[in-house]
A and B are shown apart, each in its own frame.
Chain A
Amino acid sequence: MNAEWQAVWLTFKLASTTTLILLIIGTPIAWWLARSRHWLTKPVAALVALPLVLPPTVLGFYLLLLLGPQGPVGRLTESLGLGTLPFTFEGLVLASVLYSLPFTVQPLQNAFENVSGRMLEVAATLRATPWDRFFTVAIPLARSGFLTAAVLSFAHTIGEFGVVLMIGGNIPGETRVLSVAIYDQVETLQYDNAHWLAAGMLVFAFSVLMCLYLINGRMTRGEQHDL
């Protein structure tokens, strides 16, 4: 079972790291997509949404080429003495961030679009600078969007398989996450172990989504009172 716990821990570490990075880079992207009228918002929105429709293997394949020793990014990381990213935990984080990006950006963008411009104007007439308005008005009013974004990104990262297989492989303690471990066990006909992990994930996924809907339902009801 030790190898299985290692896979659980690695998955948790990967999902947390990915979610944290996604919230940091997803927030400004979502804000820009929600507020700007620049023509570039459309192509950028399409780019961000790509992982929703592409087979994960396509994303993994191109990342492998890009990051591998022959790829431009791979050459750069090697010349910097960092080695190449494929088949490392860092490489897996990078792939997960790209793969789960729409699950962060889209809920945040929706939430920011629902923050009325009037509230930001009010804050401006009350002497708040643009940054101040963002942190004291936009973020608190978009809080349900942040919760949704964090939960979906976390859960989606846990559930990924194709990208991991392409770019991470199956190195215990480094890239062997839950979904790969389950695949492995089924391949080698260890159905008992596979059940143990698979059922655990099922319960986990259901509980997370259930909590999300409950909390979001409460928040939305709270906001309706405000109108």
Chain B
Amino acid sequence: MTSDNRIHIQLCKHLGAFALDVDLTLPDRGVSVLFGPSGCGKTTLLRCIAGLTRADGVLTMNGEVWQDDRKFLPVHQRPLAYVFQETSLFPHLSVQQNLTYGYRRVPANERHVSLDQATEWLGLQTLLARMPDRLSGGERQRVAVARALLTSPRLLLMDEPLSALDEASKRDILPYLDQLHARLAIPVLYVTHSRDELARVADHVVLMDQGRILATGGLADTLTRLDLPGSQDEDTGVVVEATIAERDREWHLARADFSGGQLWVKDTGQALGSSIRLRILARDVSVALSVHDDHSILNTLPATVGERVPTGHPAMTLVKLMVGQTPVLSRLTALSASNLALEPGKRVWLQIKSVALLD
């Protein structure tokens, strides 16, 4: 076949007044997050890719045609796995039987994940004999993920897998998902409307609204594009990839280095050299023309002013600032921006009040 190992999606679907019209190419590895408001068609797109909903168009995976004008591969013949939003375990089967349901239906020579591996990865060793009604919400979703992985899929589809869980269950399952990220060499398509999840899991972002793709790109690029809807939300911000480079034992802080600078963050015990993601909200970033040391803010970074856009309210403005190659957003009053004469190219100092460690 061809050497094209990407996913091409060109689908059209009308559902009453709603129309899905998508033309998209996704990378063959990493987590692509379909992000957008409720009702924008994320789940419909995921269902069409799985073949659960029939749409018109063409779908190819690694050069292999799943769907075109003449052909429509039924769901059970597509080498994919699907993790649904709410609990989807078979109530009449034990955890172990749920896990092996898909596993047994995959030819032995196509199995890349063993029952022991999946059980260990998602911490299910003690749950195998239980029935689904004896599991917590987080445990059920872990079983559902393990069950999906045991079909050795070539594409993993996850439809808001955390949205039905409470905060505690989310914290319980997220570390498992983070590890999978590193362990699996398959593309993952992850649907969410949560900025937290987007910032935490995404390598690649697909922004959707009203059945259309607004933008696609890397996480940092997409989050700092000021022309996209949602960029002016209260909790808009950037995600920075960094490495733990130093530890200050006395004050329980860790230094995170990123392309263009460094930030001190709360030490949460990560090993030196480990990669982390930091989230900096635009409202936590203020701008100064010179360095002061008479304030409580720990992280002060030199930056260059970039583009500037108005927000939904005339009093506020959003400015993009470059710290080396890393873009950071700042949300400040239009009055301050005018007083400081923030024109593109101007050298300024950023004061970052708060940095959130994502993993």
A residues 123-158 near B (Cβ < 8 Å) are 123-130, 132, 136-137, 140-141, 143
**Shortest distance from the beta carbon of A104 to any chain B beta carbon, whole Å:** 22
Residue of B nearest to A223 (CB): B91
A125-B50, A127-B102 known; A119+B90 contact, CB < 8 A: yes
Q: Does B13 contact A (CB under 8 A)?
A: no
Chain B contact patch, size range:
20 to 34
A225 and B91 alpha carbons, distance in the complex (Å): 9
Q: Does A121 contact B (CB under 8 A)?
A: yes
Q: Work out how many contacts link A and B, with CB atoms closer than 8 A.
A: 61
Main secondary structure of the interface of A (DSSP, over half): helix
Query: Could you say which of B81, B106, B133 contacts A125, with CB atoms under 8 Å apart?
Result: B81
A-chain residues with CB within 8 Å of residue B75 when the two chains form the complex: 121, 124-125
Task: Judge whether A118 is part of the interface by a CB distance below 8 angstroms.
Answer: yes
Rounded to whole angstroms, the CA-CA distance of A15 and B216 in the bound complex is 66
Can you report 5 A-B residue pairs in the complex whose CB atoms are below 8 A from each other?
A: A121-B84, A125-B50, A126-B102, A128-B76, A223-B91
Selected from A129, A223, A227, the residue in CB contact (under 8 A) with B76 is A129
Partner of A226, one of B106, B132, B147: B132
Q: Is the CB of A123 within 8 A of B101?
A: yes
Is A21 an interface residue, CB under 8 A from the partner? Answer: no
Chain A residues with CB under 8 Å of B148's CB are: 125-126
Contacts of B52 in A (CB 8 A): 121, 124-125
Most chain B C-beta atoms within 10 Å of own C-beta, residue among A123, A132, A141: A123
A129 contacts across to B, CB distance below 8 A: 76
Chain B proximity of A117: nearest CB distance (Å): 10
Chain A: residues with CB nearer than 8 A to chain B? 118-119, 121-130, 132, 136-137, 140-141, 143, 223, 225-227
B92 contacts partner chain A, Cβ-Cβ < 8 Å: yes
Q: Is the CB of A124 within 8 A of B76?
A: yes
Residue B112 at the chain A interface, CB threshold 8 Å: no
Bound together, the chains give a CA A153 to CA B28 distance in angstroms of 56
A140 to B92, CA, bound (A): 7
Q: Which residues of A contact B106 (CB under 8 A)?
A: 127
Query: Quick check: B91 and A226 within 8 Å, CB to CB?
Result: yes
Contact with A along B62-105 (1 / 0, CB 8 A): 00000000000011100011101010101110000000011001
Q: Tell whether, in the assembled complex, residue B101 and residue A225 are in contact, meaning their CB atoms are under 8 Å apart.
A: no
Minimum distance in angstroms from B165 CB to a CB of chain A: 16
Q: Which of A121, A122, A143, A223 contacts B90 (CB 8 A)?
A: A122
Q: Which residues of B contact A118 (CB under 8 A)?
A: 84, 86, 88
Q: CA–CA, A225 to B105, complex, Å?
A: 28
